[in-house]
Amino acid sequence: MISELESQEDFRRLFTIFNEIWGAETLSELISSLQNTKCALAKSDTNEVVGYVFYDQDERGFTEITDFGIDPNFRGLGYGADLIVFVCAISTEVRLSVKEDNMAARQLYEKIGFKEIQRIENYYGVGFDGLRMEWKKEV
């Protein structure tokens, strides 16, 4: 199930997952950059938040996924695909960045229809290259 932030418990779980994936320093940076960013949550059958996607979208439907994460205990169960497909369904074009060596994420994006459009050296720090990927709605 995909939903918006609906309760204090949703916020608590969101930040727990984010902190587990990225750490407290990155969490602080994220909070300061969320002014116009939208968020969708993946929830389990028991209504527990198990993942999130942050995205910016303009009036034409162009969307930039700015962050995406799934609780490690719930990876491989389709929640990530559900979130990315949700964003694609409300967009005309979607772009995102991914670590070049994050094969699980790259395979997920490619399965959904994303194509690599650019490789950026040291995008995630020295020695950690990034890929820009893009999905476009078929017309």
Range of the domain at 37: 2-136
**70-116 pLDDT tens trace:** 999 999 999 999 999 999 999 999 999 999 999 999 999 999 999 99
pTM: 0.80
Q: At what angle do helices 8-22 and 24-32 cross, to 10 degrees?
A: 120
**108-135 pLDDT tens trace:** 999 999 999 999 999 989 999 999 999 9
* DSSP secondary structure code for residue 91 in this structure: -
Structure tokens at 43: 């929830």
Structure tokens at 105: 């994420």
The number of domains in the chain is 1
Which CATH number is 64's domain given?
Answer: 3.40.630.30
